[in-house]
Structure 1
Amino acid sequence: MTTTTEATNCVLYERSGEVLTITINRPAEKNAVNLKVATQLAAAIDLLDADPRLSVGLLTGAGGTFCAGMDLKAFAQGERPVLPGRGFGGLTRTTVRKPLIAAVEGWALGGGFELVLACDLIVAAEDARFGCPEVKWGLVAMEGGLVRLPRRLPYHIAVQILLTGDPLPAPRAKELGLVNELTAPGAALDGAHVLARRIARNGPLALAATKEVLRVTQGLNDGEAFTCQDEITARLVSSEDALEGARAFAEKRAPVWHGR
């Protein structure tokens, strides 16, 4: 696929083969999220899931900062960048079918960190920092921090981050298993693209099914989990892509996926 770029003012998106890069584009405001960003980010996520030619999404921020969280100036004027059923930034409570990778430079704070936590994988620059400082201002991390962070980190470490509001440096986040890969400063997006291309070589239906099984089986016992898994994977096993994968293996060639 030819690489193309579409600009929607506060959010940019770029197609490159099977990968869609989504960039929050308010660098002067440290990519703080207002309602306009939330609406446009939700539209970009919908494009990722709806387009059968796309397999993986990347989420990043322009100008060396991932996202400083909610636009407090807009909030003070009565605006909330939360979409019904979709959460902060149009993402934190959205079910995204396809793999989504966060490419993090600089700060990912508050709602920005919660956007990262809504992604499946995290690639971060060595000087990136994450944080949930909401308690410092009398608020709480209600768009994913309280729910997701204790699932991704050892419980007491997550609690310390949430109660102190202190930042978590990317190297420490890597040690704790929160970050998948570290890169040199300025190279997080390139690193995320490398990871995305490795993922995009695989069957798109298999990628989506893997995400769905992981999502719906959390907290279930083994019997319930296998029942849910089998219902989801039954559709996959009978797909054209599953047959194509078997043929490609037998013929010692790269598979040609059709997403059906």
Structure 2
Amino acid sequence: MQTEPLQTEQVAFEKRGAVGILTLQRPEVRNAISAQMAEAIESVVNHCENDPEIRACIITGSGPVFCAGADLKEVAQGRGADLVRPESGFAGFVYARKNKPWIAAVQGPAHGGGTEIALSCDMIVASRTANFALPEVKRGIIAGASGAFRIARFLPPALAIEMVATGRPIDAAKAHAFGMINAIAEPDDVLETAMALALDIAACSPLSVRETLAITRRAARGDESYFRGLESDAIATVMAGPDCREGAMAFIEKRAPQWKS
């Protein structure tokens, strides 16, 4: 049975014809993911997937930043596990069951979990001022929401390894050149560019799109269960180590971390 999405000031949902739009709404903290956001995002995703009138979906952010990833204040307070939903993973999104096509409209930097959210979509439209990064190693944590293995599907191995081992960002132009993103737009045009793509999808047969998408996803992604097992083991090791809390506290206190591992 179709239900209305959870209402919260941190996540907005809009339906434009056959397109569902999910907007992250914590610009004051660079749209960092909180536990409350994760629950609301999961609710919106489920609503979009269950609404027969919605044929394509967009996730975007408010303000100049798409998403800075996990809210490290909640991580430092020992609530990092609350940002991961049991069935849909980090942010209620990265492992959510999605039968419909999802487009990330990245209007600004997407770092950490923000990049992982974008990589969880089928297509990415990005501002020319956007950039992508997996800086978890700088915080004593791990890109444990699919980023460590999904990034390797989009970028050459050497560049993917550089990203995860150094935390350095890549800009939209480089991401586009390697096929990680579908289109580059001006900052004010990102959502409308994504909408144009979504409307092209919505004009096609929903059944044809759904069934074809399932085949193409399987061909592109393979079986993720093996990598998710590796990811779970790595997360357990890192979270049990001494650097996880230190990295978050150093970030909050604006100082260089003192690694202990």
In which range does the TM-score fall when normalised by the shorter chain?
0.7 to 0.9
Unmatched 5+ stretches in structure 2: 223-261
Mapped to 1, the partners of 2:221 and 2:176 lie a distance apart of: 25
In structure 1, what is the equivalent of residue 197 of structure 2?
195
Question: What is the aligned counterpart of 1:115 among 114, 117, 120?
Answer: 117
Mapped to 2, the partners of 1:219 and 1:133 lie a distance apart of: 23
Structure 2 residue 19 is the aligned partner of structure 1 residue 14? no
**1:116-147 deviation line (CA, Å, top 9, x unaligned):** 00000000000001100001112221111111
In structure 2, what is the equivalent of residue 65 of structure 1?
65
**1:63 alignment partner, SS class:** coil
Mapped to 2, the partners of 1:99 and 1:109 lie a distance apart of: 22
In structure 1, what is the equivalent of residue 180 of structure 2?
178
- Higher RCO (CA 8 Å, separation ≥ 6 residues): 2
Partner AA of 2:195 in structure 1: H
1:207 Cα deviation after fit: 1.4
Mapped to 1, the partners of 2:221 and 2:196 lie a distance apart of: 32
* Contact in 1 for aligned 2:6/2:43 (Cα 8 Å): no
Mapped to 2, the partners of 1:103 and 1:219 lie a distance apart of: 21
* Contact in 2 for aligned 1:149/1:158 (Cα 8 Å): yes
Q: Equivalences for 1:143-222 in 2 at 5 Å? A: 143-217=145-219
* Contact in 2 for aligned 1:6/1:13 (Cα 8 Å): no
TM-score (norm. length: structure 2): 0.79
**1:67-117 deviation line (CA, Å, top 9, x unaligned):** 000001111122220011311101111221100000001110001110000
1:217 Cα deviation after fit: 4.3
Q: Note the aligned Cα RMSD (angstroms).
A: 1.6
Unmatched 5+ stretches in structure 1: 221-260
> What's the % identity of the aligned pairs?
38
Displaced runs of 4 or more, over 4 A = 217-220
**1:85 alignment partner, SS class:** coil
Partner AA of 1:213 in structure 2: I
